[in-house]
Amino acid sequence: MALGAALGVSGCGDDTVEPGEVEAGTAELGGPARGISITDVEVNQGAGVVVATAEDGWLDLEARNARLIHGRDSLVRFQVVLDDPAGWIPRSLTGVLRIEVPGQPTVVRTRDFVVEQDSDPRDLDEQFYFPLYADEALPGTKIHVELRETDASVDVSALGQGRTQVPANGEAATVGFGDVDLEMDIVIVPVHYTYFDPPRVPDITDEDLELLREGMLQQNPVQAVNITVRDEPIIYSQQITDLGTLLPMTRQARIADGAPPHVYYHAMIDVNGSAVNDVAGIAWLTGATQEDGDLRSAATVFHKRIIPADPEDPESEEVIQPPSNTVSTWVHEVGHNQGFRHVECQGATSANNDPSYPYEDGKLGIYGFGIRNFRIFAPSASHDYMSYCGNAWVSDWTWEKAHERVELLTGWGTAAPPSGPDGALTIEPSLASQREPALIGVLSVDGTETWTAMPAFPVVTPASTSALETVEFWADGALVDSAVAEVATLSDDRTRTLTVIIPPKARVSGAQGVAGGFELVRQDAQGQRRAVLLD
């Protein structure tokens, strides 16, 4: 559905005129609306950005709560307040948005509306709003809004003259759409879960893919979200008890594909339920470097609720619901891959919360808007999507953090050639050559450990290593070498991963694999020693 159609903006309110010409569609209107004033003007691409207030007029970019981006559908809206509610004459007024795109004819959009009271920013039906389309959202685009009497014959001479134009001088002002290209590239890795007979494979339809794409698009400052589904699935044959055990496998797929550092890999598994031991998604908290590329891996349970047919009613049919919770989870898990920690909210049990979140109780703090689902999310009734609380949406705080990360990664994506000679994804040779043979262990909350041998980047941040966790390599009763583990806690705040670069003396290739022939012993922070068994 197009933004304009969904917002009830008809073609007749969308006239194009040459600059300086009388604006078609507004010529027959009455004069400036009387007895009423425009307050805030907001441009909303997901997280609302107030561009003008009654007190401060048009706001400079530095004075704004968040950035706007070019090439993205946007909602423009303004709120109104009655100068004197007791003396108000309820009647139709016409809101007018004038859009001046450099090098293009001026566009005028109007919306009529019977005004009975102050507008309610929580309710699109109770205010003046307009679409501004992606191809109109350019760095030089200017807008002007005004409020006119719809019917010139209504006598409103008893009402005073309020603030009915923004900017007040009648000239359009620069919206402030940025000039940065922002995209996300995500590869979905389906899991063939062969523990079940027949094996379960996530049934991701084109509609489901579109929901996943829109979910990510709506809550990230991007022009595009590019999703591909990997042809070759991951095979998982054991009963899965910790979703985190999928992460090394997803990372392995990522390495095998030679994916560039900016690409996200995301496993999707159907476990015939909504979660694995109450965990619906899991991810590494990923840093902002290219060397962290392998950690742009996550896993989400793909689940569509099935409502069975009513056995009493022969007419009824089984209903498969859209994977709404999966969409929310995957946005949240990719958020962890973007480096975001949790946001605390009342009554929820998230750990590793980010103390710098600015709004109380994980609330949104601003108005959210879905450019595809056309929903308004109120500042005090919605929570940031990195919280565990309901009615989740993107706050302006998370929007800004995402902007930083997406801008950085998009820069890598465009700087490096995206594909090799056969169309396969390639990695910068300088990065690939830094990979060393490694052991990666997933330490589940139930005490089980899953260890896999795979290449990894050498530990680059000393702060992330723990001298307390080591793995020793023994042969014939003698200690050959030991290595310090890089420790990470996954996004469920309980599963840990240990990464150990295999010391050169312990690198034996051959039938037994890269660490073959050695006895491996892990010594943990408490000094406990236990054997490490490779998968």
What are the residues binding Zn ion (CB under 5 A)? 491
List the beta strands (DSSP E) in 313-403: 319-320, 368-369, 376-377, 383-384, 392-393
Least distance from Zn ion to the Cβ atom of residue 325, Å: 14
Give the shortest CB-402-to-Zn ion separation in angstroms. 15
Of 159 and 490, the one with the shorter C-beta distance to Zn ion is 490
Residue whose pair of structure tokens reads 């006895």 in the numeric block: 519
Instruction: For residue 308, give every residue at least 6 positions away whose Cβ sits within 8 Å of its Cβ, in sequence order, or none.
Output: 318
Q: How far is the CB of 529 from Zn ion (least distance, A)?
A: 32
Distance CA(269)–CA(2), nearest Å, equals 32
Provide the minimum distance between the beta carbon of 275 and Zn ion in the complex, in angstroms, as a whole number: 13
Nearer to Zn ion, 119 or 491 (CB): 491
In whole angstroms, the minimum distance from the beta carbon of 136 to Zn ion comes to 36
Nearer to Zn ion, 290 or 491 (CB): 491
Please give the C-alpha separations between residue 445 and each of 245, 484, 486, 535, in angstroms, as whole numbers.
12, 21, 18, 18
Residue nearest to Zn ion (CB): 491
Cβ atoms of 394 and 46 closer than 8 Å = yes
Nearer to Zn ion, 292 or 492 (CB): 492
The residues, any chain, with a CB within 8 Å of residue 445's CB and separated by 6 or more, are: 242, 494, 495
Structure tokens that stand for 225 in this block: 């979200």
The amino acid at 272: N
**Please, which residues bridge with residue 368 across strands?**
47, 377
Cβ proximity of 481 and 473 under 8 Å:
yes
| Residue nearer to Zn ion on the CB measure, 282 or 453 | 282
Please say which residue, 352 or 482, places its beta carbon nearer to Zn ion. Answer: 352
Residue nearer to Zn ion on the CB measure, 250 or 491: 491
Integer-rounded Cα radius of gyration of the chain = 28
Residue 298, beta-bridge partner list: 266, 283
User: Minimum distance from CB of 65 to Zn ion (Å)?
Assistant: 25
Residue number, 494 or 507, with CB nearest to Zn ion: 494
Take residue 14 and report the two structure tokens written for it. 């969308």
Least Å from the CB of residue 188 to Zn ion: 19
| Least Cβ distance, residue 289 to Zn ion (angstroms) | 21
Q: State the DSSP string of 433-487.
A: TT-EEEEEEEE-TTS-EEEEEEEEPPP--GGGEEEEEEEEEEETTEEEEEEEEEE
| Residue number, 337 or 499, with CB nearest to Zn ion | 337
Give min distance, CB of 491 to Zn ion, in A. 4
